[in-house]
């Protein structure tokens, strides 16, 4: 993106101008840590553990008593179930977003609107899905399907009226204004069947729409110069607005409801239900997804990110059957209700992954109520492949025998030895095209890059960045240091050599860095060394490969 350097420079200047002198926080922090940690380990820990065991029963009894007199009761959902065959079929409107990228390039993002037929899980594209004919349509804005109106709208579940006939959007004034030039904002309500756009409220500042219920449109406002955010209930009929209390915002929940901590708001509906997630999507992290209704949280699912259930909820929608979820890895959709619990539907027929991309990522979001019946539509087609760089460089011919004759200096680890993982180094990679990571592993001039963590469960992107001070060919060899195992490197412009080695003929082109893009697939978890050999350079990079599949993306 050609505005990146400009923005980076401006943001740094803007924040540096305001931040002033940097405080020396270390002394006070160290003092506070010191004063809190006297006797912390190990005696205090043992004492705390003993006390915890002694008082655990008392606390448990207190908790049970406390919950019986009014504390929100968290209901746990059991394991997932499959939909019974006699369930009424329906078509769930979804937005399928594919993000495809090669390192150093801007991503290509494709969005497809269609339906997933339930229970079969087949995805079909809606060829008539368009919102361009409606006011407030924003290419980056939300999309949803209205079953009542039998069409797609430039709206979300937060901005559509409870009866589904109207939607709201905001507009900056004067016409064509941006956030740096606007003087006021307006809330508009569109009567979709009549195609009439009503201005219902204005404010001398910015407006964000939070929800629409029978009580009106809930919006937040911020004055143009910043300051206190206020909440308003706007009459969709244009009869003004009244200030709403701070606790009216359904996206701002009291974390104490769930035992404290931060949460992510996944969506809500007009009746005030909110879906929240505690715990990150970081693989291995314990997380819980709740639905909060009338201040009462109910557990929809509790598990470990990346576990076999694969509940990775994305876009949320609500209907009489329950709460629908997309999945952030694009493999399935979900339905949850208090009676049937969490049901999973494997999705098929999604757009095929386009060719020549290193990173591909597809998400599904539920964007409306499931419509009775099955949707025919059209099958999804694959997005176009990544463009081939032009002109394509012709790699020089290399006699690899001189490099393969170099000794392999990879010493096995002693039994139980710690893997001597290479430290990350900061780089300033300047290539002829694109933006590249500013880090690498190794001593240089040849660096491994592209990931911070490595996984055994499949291929993952791998970059070899070559400082322009070396411009010759590079031989890549590897070996597991703590047992049997291998790394397999695949990428454009490589020459396969014996013993799993690969040769890269074309590296840097001074003054530009060499940027080889490929993938690495470890055969097993463990500690691996990668040796890079050039005509007059040699370096070893050590990586630790963790068990499990690489995270999506």
Partner 1 sequence: MHSAAGLELVRRAKEGDEVAFTSLLRPLLEPAYRLAFGMLQDRALAEDAVQEAALKAWRKIHQLREGFQISPWFYGIVANECRMSRRNPWWSLVKTAAPAGSSVAPDASSAERIDLRRALKELPLQQRLVVVMYFYLDVPLEEIAGITGVSFAAARGRFYRAIEHLRSALGPEEAEA
Task: Please state the closest distance from residue 142 (CB atom) to partner 1, in A.
Answer: 12
> 317, 343, 363, 507: which one contacts partner 1 (CB under 8 A)?
363
Judge contact between 104 and 4, C-beta under 8 A. Answer: no
Q: How far is the CB of 87 from partner 1 (least distance, A)?
A: 31
Interaction with partner 1 in 534-553: which residues (CB under 8 A)? 544, 546, 551-553
Is residue 1 part of the contact set for partner 1 (CB under 8 A)? Answer: yes
Nearer to partner 1, 61 or 256 (CB): 256
Q: Nearest approach, Cβ of 189 to partner 1 (angstroms)?
A: 23
For residue 378, CA distances in Å to 115, 117, 123, 182, 467 come to 10, 13, 9, 42, 49
Q: What is the 3-state secondary structure (H, E, C) of 4-16?
A: HHHHHHHHHHHHH
For residue 421, give the nearest of 513, 507, 526, 272 by alpha carbon: 526
The interface region with partner 1, picked from 178-186, 479-487, 509-517, 529-537 by CB under 8 A, is 178-186
Q: Which stretch binds partner 1 (CB under 8 A): 13-21, 114-122, 390-398, 405-413?
A: 13-21
Find the binding residues for partner 1 in span 105-144 (CB under 8 A).
107, 109, 140
Please state the closest distance from residue 481 (CB atom) to partner 1, in A: 14
Residue choice 151, 165, 273, 281 for contact with partner 1 (CB under 8 A): 281
413 binds partner 1 (CB under 8 A): no
Give the integer Cα–Cα distance in Å for 440 and 150: 52
**Contacting range for partner 1; rule: CB under 8 A; set: 94-102, 350-358, 365-373, 495-503:** 94-102
User: Which residue among 49, 204, 378, 418 contacts partner 1 (CB under 8 A)?
Assistant: 418
Choose, by CB under 8 A, the member of 111, 252, 340, 495 that binds partner 1: 252
Interface pick for partner 1 out of 308, 423, 511, 536 (rule CB under 8 A)? 423
What's the min distance (Å) between Cβ of 447 and partner 1? 14
| 68, 128, 178, 390: residue in contact with partner 1 (rule CB under 8 A) | 178
Which CB sits closer to partner 1, 83 or 222? 222
Asked whether position 47 contacts partner 1 by CB under 8 A, the answer is: no
Site for partner 1 in 458-487 (CB under 8 A): none
Cα within 13 Å of Cα(192), Cβ side: 24
Pair 267, 211: CB distance under 8 Å:
no
Site for partner 1 in 512-531 (CB under 8 A): none
Residue 430 sits in the site that holds partner 1 (CB under 8 A) = no
Q: Please give the Cα distance from 335 to 292 (Å, whole number).
A: 16
Applying CB under 8 A, which of residues 105, 146, 422, 531 lies at the interface with partner 1?
Answer: 422
**Distance in Å, CB of 14 to partner 1, minimum:** 4
| Backbone Cα Rg of the chain | 28
Distance CA 488, CA 507 (A): 19
Sheet with strand 196-203: strands edge to edge: 166-173, 184-191, 196-203
Minimum CB distance to partner 1 smaller for 325 or for 470:
325
Phi, psi at 35, each rounded to 5°:
-70, -25
> Between 97 and 117, whose beta carbon lies closer to partner 1?
97
Is 147 within 8 Å of 154 (Cβ atoms)? no
One of 226, 245, 396, 511 touching partner 1 (CB under 8 A)? 226
Structure tokens at 473: 């060919």
Select 59 or 418, whichever has its Cβ closest to partner 1: 418
Closer to partner 1 at the Cβ: 262 or 536? 262
Count of residues making up the chain: 553
SS (H, E, C) 176-235: CCCCCCCCEEEEEEEECCCCEEEEEEEECCEEEEEEEECCEEEEEEECCCCCCCEEEEEC
Residue 175 burial (C-beta neighbours within 10 Å; 0-12, 13-18, 19+): exposed
Q: How far is the CB of 93 from partner 1 (least distance, A)?
A: 20
Minimum CB separation of residue 404 from partner 1 in Å reads 30
**How many Å separate Cα 386 from the centre of its chain?**
22
For position 246 contacting partner 1 by CB under 8 A, the verdict is: yes
Is 361 or 470 the residue whose CB approaches partner 1 more closely?
A: 361
With CB under 8 A as the contact rule, the residue among 112, 185, 206, 288 that binds partner 1 is 206
Alpha carbons 26 and 102: distance in angstroms, whole number: 41
The residue behind tokens 């399928």 is: 96
Compute how many other C-beta atoms are within 10 angstroms of the C-beta atom of residue 250. Answer: 21
Please name the residue that has the structure tokens 């819980």. 288
With contacts defined by CB under 8 A, name the span among 25-33, 317-325, 364-372, 495-503 that binds partner 1.
Answer: 25-33
Closest of 116, 108, 164, 111 to residue 138, by C-alpha:
111
- Specify burial of residue 353 (Cβ count, 10 A radius: 0-12, 13-18, 19+): middle
Draw the binding track, 326-345, toward partner 1 (x: CB under 8 A; -: no contact). --x-----------------
């Amino acid at each position: 993106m050609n505005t990146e350097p400009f923005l980076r420079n401006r943001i740094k200047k803007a924040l540096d101008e305001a931040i002033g002198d940097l405080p020396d926080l270390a002394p006070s922090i160290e003092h506070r840590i010191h004063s809190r940690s006297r006797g912390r380990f190990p005696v205090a820990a043992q004492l705390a553990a003993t006390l915890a065991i002694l008082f655990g029963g008392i606390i448990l009894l207190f908790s049970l008593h406390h919950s019986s007199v009014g504390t929100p009761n968290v209901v746990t959902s059991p394991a997932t179930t499959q939909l019974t065959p006699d369930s009424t079929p329906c078509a769930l409107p979804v937005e399928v977003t594919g993000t495809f990228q090669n390192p150093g390039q801007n991503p290509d993002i494709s969005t497809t609107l269609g339906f997933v037929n339930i229970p079969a899980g087949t995805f079909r594209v809606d060829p008539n899905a368009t919102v361009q004919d409606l006011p407030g349509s924003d290419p980056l804005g939300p999309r949803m399907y209205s079953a009542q109106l039998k069409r797609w709208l430039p709206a979300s579940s937060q901005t559509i009226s409870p009866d589904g006939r109207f939607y709201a959007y905001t507009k900056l004034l004067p016409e064509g204004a941006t956030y740096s030039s606007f003087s006021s904002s307006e809330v508009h309500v569109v009567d979709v069947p009549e195609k009439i756009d009503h201005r219902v409220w204005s404010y001398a500042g910015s407006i964000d729409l939070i929800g629409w219920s029978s009580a009106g449109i809930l919006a937040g406002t911020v004055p143009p110069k910043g300051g206190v955010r206020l909440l308003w209930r706007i009459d969709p009929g244009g009869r003004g607005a009244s200030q709403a209390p701070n606790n009216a915002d359904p996206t701002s929940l009291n974390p104490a409801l769930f035992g404290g901590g931060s949460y992510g708001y996944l969506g809500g509906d007009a009746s005030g239900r909110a879906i929240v997630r505690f715990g990150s999507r970081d693989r291995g992290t314990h997380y819980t997804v709740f639905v909060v209704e009338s201040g009462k949280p109910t557990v929809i699912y509790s598990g470990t990110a990346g576990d076999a259930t694969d509940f990775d909820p994305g876009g949320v929608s609500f209907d009489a059957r329950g709460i629908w979820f997309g999945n952030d890895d694009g493999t399935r959709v979900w339905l949850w209700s208090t009676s049937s619990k969490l049901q999973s539907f494997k999705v098929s027929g999604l757009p095929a992954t386009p060719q020549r991309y290193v990173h591909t990522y597809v998400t599904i979001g539920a964007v409306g109520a499931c419509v009775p019946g099955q949707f025919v539509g059209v099958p999804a087609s694959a997005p176009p492949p990544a463009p081939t760089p032009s002109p394509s460089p012709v790699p020089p011919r290399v006699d690899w025998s001189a490099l393969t004759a170099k000794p392999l200096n990879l010493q096995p680890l002693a039994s139980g030895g710690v893997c001597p993982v290479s430290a990350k180094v900061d780089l300033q990679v300047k290539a002829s095209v694109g933006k590249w990571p500013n880090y690498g592993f190794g001593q240089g001039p040849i660096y491994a890059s592209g990931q911070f963590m490595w996984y055994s469960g499949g291929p993952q992107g791998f970059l070899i960045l070559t400082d322009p001070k070396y411009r010759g060919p590079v031989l890549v060899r590897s070996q597991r240091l703590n047992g049997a195992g291998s790394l397999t490197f695949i990428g454009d412009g490589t020459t396969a050599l014996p013993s799993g080695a690969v040769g890269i003929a074309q590296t840097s082109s001074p003054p530009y860095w060499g940027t080889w893009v490929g993938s690495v697939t470890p055969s097993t978890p463990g500690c691996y060394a990668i040796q890079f050999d050039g005509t007059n350079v040699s370096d070893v990079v050590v990586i630790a490969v963790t068990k499990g599949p690489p995270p999506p993306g």
